[in-house]
Amino acid sequence: MMHRKAKGVILGVLMALVAACARGGATPVAGLPAEAQTVIRERGLSPEDVVAALRTYVPGGKYDEYVMFASGGHSGQVLVIGIPSMRLLKVIGVFTPEPWQGYGFGEKGTLEVLAEGFARGKPILWGDTHHPALSETEGEYDGQFLFINDKANARLAVIDLRDFETKQIVKNPNAISDHGGGFVTPNTEYVVEGPQYAAPIGWEYAPLDQYKDKYRGLLTFWAFDRQKGRVDPDRSFQIELPPYWQDLCDAGKKVSYGWVFCNSINTEMATGGIEEGNPPFEAGTAKNEMDYLHIINWKKAEELIRAGKYEVINGIKVIRLQTAAQEGVLFFAPEPKSPHGVDVAPGGEYIVVGGKLDPHVTVYSFEKIQKAIAAGNFERDPFGVPVLKFEDVKEAQVELGLGPLHTVFDDKGYAYTSLFLDSAVAKWSLGGPYRKDGAEPWKLVEKLPVHYNIGHIAATEGDTVSPDGKYVVALNKWSVDRFQPVGPLHPQNFQLIDISGGKMRLLYDMPIGIGEPHYAQIIKADKLKPFLVYPEIGWNAVKMAKDPDATEAGRERVEVREEGGRRVVEIWMTAVRSHFKPERVKVRKGDHVIWHITSIERARDATHGFALGGYNINLSLEPGETATIEFDADQSGTFPFYCTEFCSALHLEMMGYFLVEP
Ligand code: RUQ
Ligand code: CUA
């Protein structure tokens, strides 16, 4: 289907390549030509294949230039991928327990993080992760934190990039599902969680014939406390919106700092019911020629909160729709037809909306929006929200092709939009201050086919105020014929595209065999400064501080006491190559067990595991970490516990017996 046309291999091409390489000043590697020619011939590689391979290969011991944080889709995890090699570096357990990291398999702290995300106490142990968002300082990724939402259950998770572990999950108390999040404001003042399917506020019941009165959208601003590394629900607030099915959101930056933009797909307020003779949702939501871009002044919203103009619903401050509409927090601008992505240009001057059912992207000018608001030239929608005039705020419409969804930017004044129906990436020129090369503004420049059904597109440093224009990654929903079939559930496909030259060039296909990944963000690798081992022995990885139950070598002990009419056995254990100490732990059936294990290792990679069969327990003890498990010894028997990492030659001997007397 693709560039396999050039099947026969032309040795001359390689010679030219090698010669070009030599001209470029690189030292030709001795022995390369003959061997390389053989490989090229044997593997049937085309000249483009050879160049792509050379551009993406990262030799062992060398690091990738970028790190991509990709949603793991339904897996509820985050994927960490090196670019350009597209090597998978890590899978971070977020909404779903992850045994290798010991996340959710007995370790205190991690269980509590997962439990914070339960829905009114009901365990939820997966997530539909959509949009990862890196923390920002002055609009630049700062490499400190990562946030991601769970669409299915309206939750937001906080990952600390010092150890790439999930530290907090917040459950939205007033919504059951979300979509347009997480997106951060330029100094990570807030992590924004946008709604999607309207429902009664406060997670209540209301029949669908009360849709207009009772159903609402809800935009949440989760305040982030950088010092604590946690969302602070007390300083957070929500804004009530009409039940228009808000979709994606993005934060304004630079000139549009203080604003947030979300689009919407159901201003028709369709309520479905195909089985009762109503138009199905897909038709009912697509009747209007225009939906509404939501334009939200969050600085103004903060003022209203300070002035007490809110109601508290389920513990969180909510600015009611009437207040938002009357006090200048919420405005609408018409946008063609059930759009999808909304993306703010690096300087904040333009807001790009992907048409989805319309072959254009529509570009709004922030300056024009401000003028229209100041002029008071608007009508109001049935909820009293000011609706600006399309012609007053539109900067341009650029026809790109079928199914434009999401847009990212480079450093040369170009934008890249995913075209779902065309299965292509469209490169087009911005105008205004971005147009320095004399090219015609607001014009489609080039289209590159991708494979297939592209959803999001991610760019290197793409959501910052200074994208660097090296690569984009197409996040494709289908892979069709690109990979070895592995049954009817096929991998999805991340495709790496070089955008540094004049033309886009497809470099690499990476199969993703884990859920449907949605968005990704790509950061310069040298901005990340993770721990190589925990900073001191006895580190509590959830609290990110020394654990009071850390144990030094020689201070290991077991204490037995009575508490509330039962026996409590508390163990302070150390782990080091190749033994646990103590190695025998004896309790009686019915005892309550509190077990602290400290890894006293200081060497990089010297991780131990701790598995206790029959009790659903597995820990990961990274060098320096202290972890605690707490459980009732409710089954008697002889339970070998053992290290689950092949840590040393005597790893198999790194075990002990947990003896539970009947
Ligand atoms: S979405 S494929 Cu959840 Cu971001 Cu557009
Ligand atoms: Cu420690 Cu194996």
Per-residue pLDDT band at 651 (split at 50, 70, 90)? very high
What's the pLDDT band for 33 if we cut at 50, 70, 90? confident
Instruction: Provide the mean pLDDT of the chain.
Output: 94
Residues 39-55 have pLDDT tens digits of 999 999 999 999 999 99
Predicted local distance difference test score (pLDDT) of residue 9: 39
61 φ/ψ sector (left φ>0, alpha ψ -120 to 50, else beta) = left
Residue 77 sits at the vertex; the CA angle it makes with 75 and 83, to the nearest 5 degrees, is: 115
What phi, psi does 599 have (nearest 5°)? -85, 120
Average pLDDT over residues 207-212: 97
Among 446, 463, 454, smallest CA distance to 502 is for: 446
| Residue 456 near ligand 1, beta carbon < 6 Å | yes
The answer to whether the CB of 645 is under 6 A from ligand 2 is yes
The residue whose CA is least distant from atom 1 of ligand 2 is 608
Ligand 2 centre to CA of 655 (Å) is 8
CB of 356 closer than 8 Å to CB of 338:
yes
d(CA 539, CA 104): 18
pLDDT of amino acid 494: 98
User: How confident is the model over 565-579, as pLDDT tens digits?
Assistant: 999 999 999 999 999
CA of 259 to the centre of ligand 2 (A): 52
Instruction: Give residue 203's pLDDT.
Output: 87
pLDDT tens-digit readout, 316-350? 999 999 999 999 999 999 999 899 999 999 999 99
- How many CB atoms are located within 10 Å of the residue 116 CB? 13
Nearest CA to ligand 1 atom 2: 455
Say which ligand is closest to the CA of 339.
1
**pLDDT grade for 16, boundaries at 50, 70 and 90:** very low
- C-alpha–C-alpha distance, residues 384 and 332, integer Å: 11
Query: DSSP label at 286?
Result: T
Q: Whose Cα sits closest to atom 3 in ligand 1? A: 130
Phi, psi (deg, nearest 5) at residue 333: -135, 135
Instruction: Give the atom of ligand 1 at the shortest distance from the alpha carbon of 248.
Output: 4
Encode pLDDT of 156-198 as tens digits.
999 999 999 999 999 999 999 999 999 999 999 999 999 999 9
Whether 576 is in the pocket of ligand 2, judged by its Cβ within 6 Å, is no
Mean pLDDT computed over 575-590: 98
Distance from C-alpha of 389 to C-alpha of 576, rounded to nearest angstrom: 69
| Averaged pLDDT, 451-456 | 97
C-alpha separations of 601 from 241, 439, 535, 605, 656 in Å: 53, 59, 11, 9, 19
The reported pLDDT for the residue numbered 216 is 98
Tokens at 128, concatenated: 């539909």
Alpha-carbon distance 226 to 160, whole Å? 10
> Does the CB atom of residue 48 touch ligand 2 within 6 A?
no
| Dihedral-angle region of residue 480 (phi above 0 means left; psi in -120 to 50 means alpha; beta otherwise) | left
Asked if residues 190 and 223 have their Cβ atoms less than 8 Å apart, the reply is yes
Average pLDDT of span 259-288: 95
* 207 has a pLDDT exceeding 90: yes
Would you say residue 524 has pLDDT above 80?
yes
> Distance (Å, rounded) from C-alpha 294 to C-alpha 244?
10
Cα of 93 from ligand 2 centre, angstroms: 22
Check residue 232 and give its pLDDT.
98
Atom of ligand 1 lying closest to residue 179 CA: 3
- In Å, the largest CA–CA distance within the chain is 85
Residue 502's pLDDT band (cuts 50, 70, 90): confident
pLDDT band at 545 (very low <50, low <70, confident <90, very high): very high
| DSSP annotation string for 7-76 | -S--HHHHHHHHHHHHHTTPPPPTTHHHHHHHHHHHHT--HHHHHHHHHH---TTPPPSEEEEEE-GGG-
Ligand 1 pocket check for 455: Cβ under 6 Å: yes
Query: What's the pLDDT score for residue 337?
Result: 87
Compute the radius of gyration of the chain from its Cα atoms. Answer: 27
Predicted local distance difference test score (pLDDT) of residue 34: 84
Residue 22: the pLDDT is 40
Where does 376-452 show beta strands of DSSP type E? Answer: 378-380, 386-388, 394-399, 404-409, 414-419, 424-429, 444-449
Question: Per the omega criterion (within 30 degrees of 0), is the bond before 339 cis?
Answer: no
* pTM attached to this predicted model: 0.94
Q: Phi and psi at residue 652, in whole multiples of 5°? A: -65, -25
Cα–Cα distance list, 593 to 101, 566, 586, 608, 627 (Å): 22, 11, 10, 21, 14
pLDDT of 13 higher than 70: no
Average pLDDT for 601-613: 98
Nearest to 395, CA basis, from 437, 438, 351, 433: 351
CA pair distance 124, 122, nearest whole angstrom: 6
Cα torsion angle, 84, 86, 92, 93, sign? positive
- CB of 647 closer than 6 angstroms to any ligand 2 atom: yes
The finding on whether 579 has its CB within 6 A of some atom of ligand 2 is no
Minimal CA–CA distance to 353: which of 411, 292, 414? 292
Tens-place pLDDT, residues 77-119: 999 999 999 999 999 999 999 999 999 999 999 999 999 999 9
